[in-house]
A and B are shown apart, each in its own frame.
Chain A
Amino acid sequence: MAEGSLRHFYGWFTVLGLLVGGLVVLGYYKDEYREWKDYQKKFIHEEMHRAATPQQLATAKRIPVEVRQILLPDLNRVDRCTTCHLAVEDPSYGGYPQPLAYHPLNEQHPPEKFGCTVCHRGQGRATTVADAHGNVPHWDEPMLPLQYIQASCGKCHQAADNPAAPELARGEQVFEESGCRGCHKLGGTGGILGPELDKVGAHRSADWLKKHFLKPAAVSPGSGMPPQKLSEANLEAITLFMLSQTGETAPGYYASMKVIPSAAEGQRLFTQKGCIGCHSVGGKGGDIGPALDDVGLRRAPEWIVRHFRDPQVVSPGTVMPQFGFTETEARALTDFLLHLRDQKVALSLPSFMDQVERGHDVYRKYGCAGCHGQDGKGGVPNPNAKTAQLVPDLIHVADGYTKDELKARILKGQHEINALDPKRPPPPLYMPGWGGTIKDAEVNDLVAYLISLKPKGEDAGF
């Protein structure tokens, strides 16, 4: 046994031992160094800088450097955003640059109940800037750009009800007026030519959606969807509305909070509960209860709310039954009644419309305009269709069809569209049959509307 060979071993042990030791230290350092610690130290530094008294200074020095998180078991989320965004609940940090800015509007959506990612998206569990903001490979939900943040309101609230989300309401309006439902289903209503849109906001980015509206085939090869002529503002609005359609459902507590007591919600309840059976508006309706046109002038809002909760409390002996409205519903109905002074609101009640007006609503509801144009004026391209490569307009249907023929045509559809040039691909757009989707009363109203489109003074046999 030569000592020399042993010394040889010791040399190797030293080298490899140092190597493994060095790697362990390096691994420890990489694990211990986290970028959020820098942000927390800056925050502590800022707090110390602001301290006016020795006590405040001592408090600031004691702020622990640790991961902060908001646990949201009902939403199946853990949001660690506040690990870096430490001052979201401190108004004195208003106007500070990120990550230390204060987050306004905490009253309706307290951070401890809602966290951050449910509205802002991103990756709540992550603790690095890149991963948390979510623009990384293998993460489906990057942060929603702030310009589209109102899309998140639409995950829970009815678009039109939310005074805090005007862009969302406008987006919904553009969606309905552009006739998207003619081909796409949303919430179960719409055509079958295009894909359903219920979850489109969960897996499409704003960029993709915008490109898609302007030139569908560029991002969806083979798409037959006609390019949309949208103003810049409308394009942004409808993109925002699409982003709000994520198909998520809010559980328990969140579902109970989502109805905003708005006039629009009140109008839905008013129609749904059949109030018009006893009360009248604008001279139409029952006469068992008082007319409601000027109820907003006669009664204080609080009185109306209490009346909805329990009529006997404010009008002893009244025959109006107790409907069991919730506080939110009572407030929504009250809001609606207060708005009745406004002529436009009153006239939008279905009971005030004639058949042609209702038919126009049906035309909008099922997105007929998507192919046949606003008010049936046509102009939507359908490449290689024999009808001048356009979807036909509907202005003169009264000349070619009887009411029954028109009704049958709507219900049955026309799947084969004659091609201009049989060698080219067939026209992408066709008339789907709406039977089974549209209600019978709605078809009758729609037919009445379509017949009415013929300009006055034009003769049938010109």
Chain B
Amino acid sequence: MSAPLPKRLWQKFERSRVGRSIFRVGLPESNLERSQAMVSSFLLHMQPAKVNRHSLRASYSFGLGLISLYLFLILVGTGVLLMFYYVPSTERAYDTMKDLEFVVSAGLLMRNMHRWAAHLMVLFVLLHLCRVFYTGAYKRPREFNWVLGVGLFLLTLALSFTGYLLPWDQLAFWAITVGTSIASYAPYIGPKLRYLMLGGNVVGQEALIRFYALHVFVLPAVAGLMVAIHLWRVRKDGGLSHPNEPGDVVEQVDLGQLPTNKTYGLMELARGTTLQVGQNPDDEVFSWPHLVFRELLLFLIVMAVVLFLAIFWNAPLEEFANPIHPPNPAKAPWYFLGLQELVSYSAFWGGVVVPGLLVTALLLLPYIDRKRQGVGRWFARERRVAITIFTVCLLAAIAFTVIGTYFRGPNWGWQEPWKRPPPAAEGH
């Protein structure tokens, strides 16, 4: 049977002089070449040559981390294109939004993709965090990678929040006004913190330029670096968690305690078991094509979803920001509405204590919950206490967010969404 046409054309190219200069290994035909393909390519070498079948199972990881990464890449790509037009000035930012919509080729499409990918990224990073929790994948030796992951979740929120201001419309202006005032409820440092974020006491040009600099440079650079470390640690910590992992990992022996009158083999200097112990070669498949192809397919799926959303739904753009006409109620971005709902009960408890405790608990989780039970399995029975606590907190967060989003009307009063009066014929 002859190979399909695209494959034959590709092979012709890679055997040419130019092709051989670019690709160190061609399309692999043997297992040796499959390994070489992985380790000799810059883009592929961060992944292992062989991968556990369990890690490939879609029903285990759902590809949530990878989806988050793809969304991040789409955001970087569309974000750079948007930067070619955007001007971070209170006088011109809104006009550039209008120009993107009306006269820039594919401007609206790029803005829509950026907006929807940003919302999806917040959602998928959270889902990824939940997946890692429910499969116990934060346990030794992956504790620190969990901490990095929580940091990346917070960074994602910060990226989305700083981007929210940039269109300089009513939605942006009041969401940031509300969001930053939540920060000011922190005792002692709160008002100073808000002043630091806004460069003043109200949202204005200084706030816009700060949010812009954070959004297009500082936060993406930090997030990019942390993603790299996060991925590095995934490999160094033994790949994706799975049920048959060795109980411990290899540790170096304190060399000072060893007699020095002999030479040692590498095996003698290590304690514990290596990552490979307990892994059956029959459980492993070559990353090329099993992992790489799946990853590429997932990228196509993510791209299709984002394109679909961007083609059929426009990113919101309200009136030009007007500091003397607050909407009623003024709402923060959706992922902070649970927080805003809590703040409506008590600024100190809801705005400071509860979120502060939640973030601290998330960061310390792997150091508190240390038993190596139920790693690599969803909802393991041995972990029901931890799972119950986490689920209650998660459901509460979702409930408060839903209430804040759909059940709060003027003056933050209770209002069922199906009883909302139709929008007035004339605003103001």
Contacts and interface: CB of A to CB of B under 8 A. Distances in A.
Interface of A: 1, 5-6, 9-10, 12-13, 16-17, 19-20, 23-24, 26-28, 30-32, 67, 76, 78, 80, 123, 125-128, 131, 137-140, 203-205, 208
Given A20-B304, A27-B106, A27-B307, A1 B31 contact: yes
A80 B103 contact: yes
Nearest to B293: A9
10 contacts: A9-B297, A23-B304, A23-B307, A24-B307, A27-B311, A30-B109, A31-B105, A80-B102, A125-B95, A138-B319
Given A30-B311, A31-B109, A139-B319, A205 B102 contact: no
B102 A27 contact: no
How large, as a class, is the contact surface on chain B?
A: 35 or more
Contact of B4 (A10, A30, A139): A10
Q: From DSSP, what is the main secondary structure of chain A's interface residues?
A: helix
B296 interface: yes
Interface string B282-295: 00001001100100
Contacts of B91: 76
A20 B300 CA distance: 7
Interface in B397-428: 423, 426-428
B121 interface: no
Contacts of A13: 293, 296-297, 300
A26 B311 contact: yes
A311 B99 CA distance: 55
A28 B106 contact: yes
Interface string B362-403: 000000000000000000000000000000000000000000
B267 to A, nearest CB: 32
B301 A125 contact: no
A128 B102 contact: yes
Nearest to A208: B426
A20 B303 contact: yes
Interface in B20-34: 31, 34
Contact of B307 (A20, A138, A204): A20
B334 interface: no
B166 to A, nearest CB: 17
Q: From DSSP, what is the main secondary structure of chain B's interface residues?
A: helix
Interface of B: 4, 31, 34, 91, 95, 98-99, 101-103, 105-106, 108-109, 169-170, 286, 289-290, 293, 296-297, 300-301, 303-304, 307-308, 310-311, 317-320, 423, 426-428
Given A19-B304, A27-B310, A6 B289 contact: yes
A6 B289 CA distance: 8
A75 to B, nearest CB: 13
B387 to A, nearest CB: 34
A166 to B, nearest CB: 29
Contacts of B301: 16
Nearest to B325: A203
A125 B99 contact: yes
B103 A127 contact: yes
A166 B169 CA distance: 38
Contacts of A80: 102-103
A1 B300 contact: no
Nearest to B170: A138
Would you list the 10 A-B pairs with minimal beta carbon distance, nearest first? A16-B300, A23-B307, A125-B98, A127-B102, A138-B318, A9-B293, A31-B106, A27-B311, A19-B304, A20-B304
Contacts of B427: 140
A13 B293 CA distance: 9
Contacts of A9: 289, 293, 297
Contacts of A16: 297, 300-301, 304
Contacts of B297: 9, 12-13, 16
Contacts of B300: 13, 16-17, 19-20
A313 to B, nearest CB: 48
Residue among A6, A23, A203 having the largest count of chain B Cβ atoms under 10 Å: A23
B317 A138 contact: yes
Given A128-B102, A205-B426, A23 B308 contact: yes
Nearest to A12: B297
B319 A125 contact: no
Contacts of B320: 140
A1 B286 contact: yes
A137 B170 CA distance: 13
A295 B157 CA distance: 79
B420 to A, nearest CB: 15
A409 to B, nearest CB: 37
A31 B107 CA distance: 8
Contacts of A205: 426
B319 A131 contact: no
A23 B151 CA distance: 34
Given A6-B289, A13-B300, A20-B300, 17 more contacts: A1-B31, A9-B297, A17-B300, A28-B106, A31-B105, A31-B108, A32-B105, A67-B103, A80-B102, A123-B98, A125-B98, A126-B98, A126-B102, A127-B102, A128-B102, A137-B423, A138-B318
A30 B52 CA distance: 44
B79 to A, nearest CB: 18
A68 B40 CA distance: 53
Nearest to A77: B95
B392 to A, nearest CB: 38
A12 B301 CA distance: 10
B426 A125 contact: no
Contacts of B102: 80, 125-128, 131
A27 B423 CA distance: 31
A26 B317 CA distance: 23
A32 B109 CA distance: 11
A72 to B, nearest CB: 12
A26 B423 CA distance: 33
A216 B428 CA distance: 16
Nearest to A34: B102
